[in-house]
Chains A and B, each alone.
Chain A
Amino acid sequence: MNNLQAQFVTAFVTEDRWKAYLEGLVQKTYVITVGALAFGIVLGILVAVIRTIHDQNIGRNNWLINFLNGICQVYTTIIRGTPMLVQLMVFYFVIFSSSRAKVAISILALGINSGAYVAEIIRSGIMSIDPGQMEAGRSLGLGYTQVMRSVIIPQAIKNILPALGNEMITLFKDTSLVTVIGVTDLTKVAQTIGAKTYSYFMPMIGIALIYLLNVIVLTRLLGILERRLRRSDRT
């Protein structure tokens, strides 16, 4: 018992080490999660809409749509077909080898990765909406994009919120991969302190609990959001 307490003190209290964990969590893990998530959702919506337009044959032999659709397909294939860890290293060591903006590169790499998955989730959401909704919107004289934005996407988001929540949680945990390019995120902090104190037990169990706690809170928040969005179903 004393031993555990001593380990805890070494891992978290001595030299104010808890500040390092907190900094790693807030300034790196959170920032990268939120940044990548925002980027991924924007990218995902874009790709999903392009692929839906193509599949519903709205652009009818429009070379631009065909071309964009081709790019989107290559994008999803490559991203879903290679490990995220490899993608991250390709971005850092190959594409942006001259840049040291680690956090920005992490956001970019994770965002692009997440976007491919989000795109498929959103596409399934869009396809789940009755085509009559688009027809009703168009019959009132609104353009495709406007109906998509005000009518289809809001309903689609509601339907896919559970899947999107999963993606969010996965992304949050996957930020620990940025350790390999030297970002001092929560995992990296634990690794460093473990090495410094010759004791990995507390730092690792400690951050595992921190990740877990965050995921639990996130799940709760998503549950509340989902209930709020379902408001229009009941009343």
Chain B
Amino acid sequence: MTELNNNVLIDVQHLTKAFGDHVVLKDISEHINEGEKVVIIGPSGGGKSTFLRCLNLLEIPTEGTIIFDGTDITDPKTDINKVRQHMGMVFQHFNLFPNMTVRQNITWAPTKTGMMKAEEADAEATRLLTRVGLLEKEDAYPSSLSGGQKQRIAIVRALAMKPRVMLFDEPTSALDPEMVGEVLEVMKELAEEGMTMAVVTHEMGFAKEVGNRILFMADGVIMEQGTPDQIFNHPQSPRLQDFLAKVLI
């Protein structure tokens, strides 16, 4: 975590999350530096998604603090809407707005938050759509798109807000195998441009190639972490060795 050794963008301290009696996250302390690409892997039910969703308060932590760019976002007095405008999120099931065209999906948030004027947002949408090669779909509705196209639009929608960090919650898990590549490609480009990223994924190839740091989560804790080389080639804990044996055939 010190290899990039620059500004801490997200600092998580003693994060605990419980749903009723079921404790999903147990006293997690972790931080994400600016420009870092953190990939979170681990078995289902281990708390990966919950951890990610706590970072932008889609899940309210039961205990602990999360500092984003110097602001304590777990403080009830913090305007969470303002904070979220700087944190993009991409979901497993895309969650595009089916009542809006592709272009409207992208320009809606920047204009409604007052961040951009309509023309600026339009120009930004055109730029981003061109970049992911979907400009010809600008007037289409999400229902007419393939899964891969939907997810690329969802990434673009989040990028239109010019976020400081992008959170990806299993972005390729709901895709047909042949569409995984096109989405990962966009994510790789984003990583190369220096975007700070936190990615929950089962794509081990992506984790190896793009991640600066891999977190292995199981049973509500970060059991092991390190560089891709450390995690994939020299796993320490039996739990991780077992997990890797199952996913890497």
Contacts and interface: CB of A to CB of B under 8 A. Distances in A.
Nearest to A135: B58
A137 B84 CA distance: 10
A235 B108 contact: no
A132 B144 contact: no
A142 interface: yes
A133 B113 contact: no
B140 interface: yes
A186 B220 CA distance: 69
A15 interface: no
Contacts of B85: 140-141
Interface string B71-107: 0000000000111111111010101111111000000
B152 interface: no
B54 to A, nearest CB: 13
Tell me which of A136, A142, A146, A234 has the highest count of chain B C-beta atoms within 10 A of its own C-beta.
A136
Contacts, number: 77
B74 to A, nearest CB: 15
B95 A133 contact: yes
Interface in B120-147: 140-144
Contacts of A136: 89, 91, 95-97, 154
B108 A232 contact: no
Tell me which of B86, B96, B109, B141 has the highest count of chain A C-beta atoms within 10 A of its own C-beta.
B109
Interface in A149-170: 150-151, 154-155, 158
Contacts of B86: 141
B89 A146 contact: no
Q: Which size class do A's interface residues fall under?
A: 20 to 34
Given A135-B58, A140-B157, A141-B113, A155 B98 contact: yes
Interface residues of B, number: 33
A142 B143 contact: no
A128 to B, nearest CB: 13
Contact of A130 (B95, B157, B158): B95
B112 interface: yes
Interface string A197-232: 000000000000000000000000000000000011
B12 interface: no
B99 A151 contact: yes
Contact of B56 (A133, A139, A154): A139
A139 B89 contact: yes
A59 interface: no
B161 interface: yes
A135 B91 contact: yes
Interface string B2-16: 000000000000000
Contacts of A130: 93, 95
Given A135-B58, A135-B91, A141 B98 contact: no
A138 B99 contact: no
Given A130-B95, A151-B99, A143 B140 contact: no
Interface of B: 56, 58, 81-89, 91, 93, 95-101, 108-109, 112-113, 140-144, 154, 157-158, 161
Given A130-B95, A141-B83, 15 more contacts: A133-B95, A135-B58, A139-B56, A139-B88, A139-B89, A140-B161, A141-B82, A141-B85, A141-B161, A150-B112, A155-B98, A155-B99, A158-B99, A231-B141, A232-B141
Which are the 10 A-B pairs with shortest beta-carbon distances? Answer: A141-B85, A136-B95, A140-B109, A139-B89, A232-B141, A132-B95, A141-B84, A154-B99, A235-B144, A141-B81
